[in-house]
Amino acid sequence: MIDLKFLRENPEIVKENIRKKFQDHKLELVDEVIALDIENRKTKQEADNLRYERNTLSKQIGVLMGQGKKDEAMELKKKVTEQSDRLKELEEKEAELNEKITKIMMIIPNIIDPSVPIGKDDSENVELQKFGDPVVPDFEIPYHIDLMERLNGIDLDSARKVAGNGFYYLMGDIARLHSAIISYARDFMIDKGFTYCVPPFMIRSEVVTGVMSFAEMEAMMYKIEGEDLYLIGTSEHSMIGKFIDTIIPEETLPQTLTSYSPCFRKEKGAHGLEERGVYRIHQFEKQEMIVVCKPEDSMMWFNKMWQYTVELFRSLDIPVRTIECCSGDLADLKVKSIDVEAWSPRQKKYFEVGSCSNLGDAQARRLKIRVVGEGGKYYPHTLNNTVAAPPRMLIAFLENNLNADGSVNIPKVLQPYMGGKTIIK
């Protein structure tokens, strides 16, 4: 959510930003919120004037009563009562206008960074850099579910009976490998100086609307029936929510946290073969990183964060590339975003395994997260990034570490988490 004062003073910049995101249907919202803001400020001014006059009259009533001028005092009391009635009307109108303004401001997209490429959708995202050499072996690589089944590592049939499509049982060495990757990712981030955290896996609606847009919420979140609670789609939601309505001392910045959680997503719609199995599912686990920092430091942290993900994947012998999201592919709260994609030898292409986002002060403004320093109070910037999200990551891991005989190599960094195993057969 952008600053209302900024919108008021720079309506054309806000409109141009909307055009860059190919959301022309939202252009009229800028003029609408400006008109509502003018009306709201007039209402507030009238209410403030009435409060001042009412206080003045109340003092005069006290003086008149002290002088025994009861009739004059009663006349003033009548006027104060009339003003109180009008003030109540104004306060109700002000609350209504504030609600309308906030609702509109919540759907006007954040101002994107000037470096973001302009494009309509993800087909116009831009490849930035490749890390590692993508290899296609001279033997056939099975579909990832077939590969896991050959290693006695997955049971989808039982999961369908228990929970339906989009769920799974991981078994044996594959389940152990899944946990090993999460544990390695946790320690990897702790070694980078991040504080480890296990957050709540459910959050209230005020946190949901503070960390994401209404459209994202509807597409992703599972609501708990009869409760003001939602299952998290990523631990970023509850991790940023941790700071709701707080004032952070500037000297404690940056706040750098890495969190483990299960994640729950609706993932509506049909998908192709490669996106079935454990690629697009309703439940998975993830190691996340989030940063709350000074505005001037956010781009520095943004670049550090996606590089950490690249470093982790390369330590597991997985080639990756980075993709910059174009303007039309950016969620409304995001200022800039880079996806990390892993190489799939089977598909002979890269696929997304993580996303790093800078949200500027949008989440902080919605959640009333402020920093206090020598220069006063201000909103910090918030960032988030995927460290590792198996089981999708398992697809890339298994395909890139597969041998011709069907066994899977365990990279040296993971061996301590696998009981010393060097290979899965």
**Inter-helix orientation angle 11-20/27-66, to 10°:** 140
355 is in an annotated binding site: yes
- Using CA atoms, how far apart are residues 115 and 210, in angstroms rounded to an integer? 25
Judge residue 3's burial from the number of C-beta atoms within 10 Å of its C-beta, 0-12 exposed, 13-18 middle, 19 or more buried: middle
384 is in an annotated binding site: yes
Instruction: Report in angstroms the alpha-carbon separations of 415 from 167, 176, 272, 423.
Output: 27, 11, 34, 9
Q: List, in order, residues 6 or more apart from 309 with CB less than 8 Å away.
A: 320, 340, 354, 356, 385, 386, 387, 388
72 is in an annotated binding site: no
**Inter-helix orientation angle 172-191/298-315, to 10°:** 140
Nearest to 315 by CA among 185, 128, 129, 186: 185
120 is in an annotated binding site: no
315 is in an annotated binding site: no
Structure tokens at 354: 């993580």
352 is in an annotated binding site: yes
296 is in an annotated binding site: no
Q: List, in order, residues 6 or more apart from 319 with CB less than 8 Å away.
A: 130, 131, 132, 133, 134, 135, 342, 343, 400
As a residue count, the chain comes to 425
Q: List, in order, residues 6 or more apart from 251 with CB less than 8 Å away.
A: 373
288 is in an annotated binding site: yes
193: how many CB neighbours lie within 10 A of its CB?
Answer: 9
354 is in an annotated binding site: yes
- Using CA atoms, how far apart are residues 357 and 298, in angstroms rounded to an integer? 10
376 is in an annotated binding site: no
Instruction: Write out the binding residues.
Output: 234, 265-267, 288, 352-355, 384
- Residues making up the annotated binding site for ATP are 265-267, 352-355
Sequence ranges of the binding site for L-serine: 234, 265, 288, 384
